Chains A and B, each alone.
Chain A
Amino acid sequence: QVQVVQSGAEVKKPGASVKVSCKSSGYTLSSYYIHWVRQAPGQGLEWLGIINPSGGSTNYAQKFQGRVTMTSETSTSTVYMELRGLISEDTAVYYCARLRPTFDAFDFWGQGTMVTVSS
């Protein structure tokens, strides 16, 4: 069965970087795009960007361009999201989610990774 497992919680200081991993199993990673979405405490969902694991092409939300990098490692069925120049407002749960092959919805989500930015 499809599973998407993310790395554990992180605590970072302002200005630092964080790299979150998202490992898929039960399907072929290269056949599906992966999205990253975040949710600040008590807030709504915010789309960060998308990666095509087959080839590594990416698209980022304008707000995060220049600060985020998404990469993939098909040999281990893992995608990564790195966010640089962290500020307190980046404190959130970060989710990876699989995009259906018809590009119309996210069907499987990781469990989420809490990233806390605090001095």
Chain B
Amino acid sequence: QSALTQPASVSGSPGQSITISCTGASGNVGRYDLVSWYQQRPGQVPKLMIYKVTSRPSGVSNRFSGSKSGNTASLTISGLRAEDEGDYYCCSYLGGNTYLFGTGTTVTVL
């Protein structure tokens, strides 16, 4: 199965808000509220930022928020900071104990 579709890159100035989309299909993103988002800074291990579409793990800034509409999930970063730079990946449950990642988005703070 092909990866979920994300924009290759998104950029913004400090303090601005940006949104990263994650487009799937009715059988994955559209069917299950089991979309998660991961941040990966250069040379580091992925870090869980959002789970179950909108929930934030403890310790993750409330500047990060998630949403979903139809077959597209989104991650919004508000009050953009230099430390938010990195790659972001969405992940969706497909059913049958299988999962699928997005293509990844590089966030650049201008």
A residues in contact (CB < 8 Å) with B: 33, 35, 37, 44-47, 50, 59, 61-62, 95, 97, 100, 102-107, 109-112
Given contacts A44-B89, A44-B102, contact A112 B51 (CB under 8 A): no
Instruction: Flag whether B91 is at the interface (Cβ < 8 A).
Output: yes
* Ranked 3 nearest A-B pairs via Cβ: A105-B51, A105-B36, A44-B104
- Chain B contact residue count (CB 8 A cutoff): 27
- With A and B bound together, what is the CA distance between A44 and B87 in angstroms? 9
The answer on a CB contact under 8 Å between B45 and A109 is yes
Known: A35-B99, A45-B46, A46-B101. 7 other contacts (CB 8 A): A47-B98, A50-B97, A95-B46, A102-B51, A103-B93, A104-B36, A109-B47
- With A and B bound together, what is the CA distance between A108 and B48 in angstroms? 8
The answer on a CB contact under 8 Å between A111 and B101 is no
Given contacts A44-B89, A95-B46, contact A104 B52 (CB under 8 A): yes
Shortest distance between the CB of A23 and any CB in chain B (Å): 16
Instruction: Flag whether B78 is at the interface (Cβ < 8 A).
Output: no
Q: Which residues from A are CB-within-8-Å of B51?
A: 100, 102, 104-105
Instruction: Flag whether B38 is at the interface (Cβ < 8 A).
Output: yes
The answer on a CB contact under 8 Å between B97 and A59 is yes
Question: Which of B3, B47, B48, B102 has its CB near the most chain A CB atoms (within 10 A)?
Answer: B48
Instruction: Flag whether B67 is at the interface (Cβ < 8 A).
Output: no
Quick one: which of A45, A46, A61, A105 contacts B48, CB cutoff 8 A? A105
Shortest distance between the CB of A27 and any CB in chain B (Å): 16
Quick one: which of A35, A102, A109 contacts B52, CB cutoff 8 A? A102
